[in-house]
């Protein structure tokens, strides 16, 4: 007679949590924060093609850390869900809260019922309508969802990075100020991050209906440059994406 293998449920959940946490901790971190014209997302990511930050819908963005192929599948599913809902009902019916709830339910089901949990943490952020406050939803590997008011940090060393950034955070600060604080917090006191090490995007009120815009090249260099003594920071909050003369990528691309 074969004796069935038994593991206590508490131990099984603990092992799955440790497995997912180790996978996420190996990835580079990411910060999302509000600023005076929208929401800024900054990730440590030297790749120019494997994006951690992407557009989901008009005023909604997605960010993920951990195992790339797993959170990219979640991104694609989110784009399809948003497109279908917007087409079937109206564009105004697509919102970050319902999308974050769907992600939370899916991640919770996988964590509870599948052999291997997903090694991911994600953020779903939405630009507030008519100049209203933005929404930042943090969804963890086991399906826990949290509504963040000022900023959110995900990935490895989250507590340390969030503490560093929390000391610098200011209400209604400019895009340049928020970006430099985020980069400094991600790097820490013993490292420095160059523009080529970063992936940066914004959801900005000045960008119209499709608010998502990637901050790259000369625009990123200007925003990272320290402001002159007694002067304002280079690059205004409303400059990001406004009049940039480039075609915005198709929704959900990258």
190-213 pLDDT, tens digit per residue, is 999 999 999 999 999 989 899 999
Q: Which residue has the higher pLDDT, 79 or 131?
A: 79
Domain range for 71: 20-227
In tens, the pLDDT along 127-183 reads 988 777 789 999 999 999 999 989 999 998 899 999 999 999 999 999 999 999 999
The pLDDT value recorded for residue 239 is 43
For residue 246, is it within any domain? no
CATH number at residue 206: 3.60.20.10
Q: Band of the pLDDT at 230, cuts 50, 70, 90?
A: low
Q: What is the mean pLDDT of the chain?
A: 89
For residue 98, is it within any domain? yes
> What stretches of 114-236 show up as alpha helix (H) in DSSP?
158-168, 175-187, 217-224
For residue 215, is it within any domain? yes
Across 6-10, 72-76, 124-128, 249-253, least confident range? 249-253
Percent of the chain with pLDDT over 70: 88
Q: Which residue has the higher pLDDT, 126 or 5?
A: 126
pLDDT of 122 higher than 90: yes
Average pLDDT of the segment spanning 11-31 = 93
| 213 beta partners | 202
The structure's pTM equals: 0.88
pLDDT of 88 higher than 70: yes
pLDDT of 247 higher than 50: no
Number of structural domains the chain divides into: 1
For residue 251, is it within any domain? no
For residue 199, is it within any domain? yes
For residue 120, is it within any domain? yes
For residue 83, is it within any domain? yes
For residue 242, is it within any domain? no
* Of the candidates 53, 52, 66, 64, the residue with the CA atom closest to the CA atom of residue 24: 66
Order of strands across the sheet that contains 38-44: 151-154, 30-35, 38-44, 198-204, 212-215
Residue carrying the six token digits 């109206």: 90
Distance between CA atoms of 34 and 45, rounded to whole angstroms?
A: 20
In tens, the pLDDT along 27-72 reads 899 999 999 999 999 999 999 999 999 999 999 999 999 999 999 9
């Amino acid at each position: 007679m074969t004796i069935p293998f038994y593991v206590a449920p508490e131990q099984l959940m603990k092992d799955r949590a440790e497995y997912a946490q180790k996978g996420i901790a190996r990835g580079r971190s990411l910060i999302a924060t509000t600023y005076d014209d929208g929401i800024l997302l900054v990730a440590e990511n030297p790749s120019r093609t494997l994006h951690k930050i992407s557009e989901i819908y008009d005023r909604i963005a997605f960010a993920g850390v951990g195992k790339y192929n797993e959170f990219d599948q979640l991104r694609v599913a989110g784009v399809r869900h948003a497109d279908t809902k917007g087409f079937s009902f109206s564009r105004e019916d697509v919102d970050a809260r319902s999308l974050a709830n769907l992600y939370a339910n899916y991640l919770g089901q996988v964590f509870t019922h599948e052999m291997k949990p997903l090694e991911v943490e994600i953020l779903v952020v939405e630009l507030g309508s008519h100049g209203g406050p933005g929404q930042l939803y943090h969804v963890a590997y086991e399906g826990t969802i949290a509504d963040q008011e000022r900023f959110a940090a995900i990935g490895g060393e989250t507590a340390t990075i969030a503490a560093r950034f929390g000391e610098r955070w200011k209400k209604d600060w400019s895009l340049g100020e928020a970006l430099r604080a985020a980069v400094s917090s991600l790097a820490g006191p013993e490292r420095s991050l160059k523009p080529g090490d970063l992936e940066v995007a914004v959801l900005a009120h000045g960008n119209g209906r499709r608010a998502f815009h990637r901050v790259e090249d000369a625009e990123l260099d200007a925003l990272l440059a320290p402001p002159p003594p007694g002067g304002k920071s280079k690059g205004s909050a409303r400059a990001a994406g406004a009049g940039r003369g480039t075609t915005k990528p198709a929704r959900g691309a990258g």
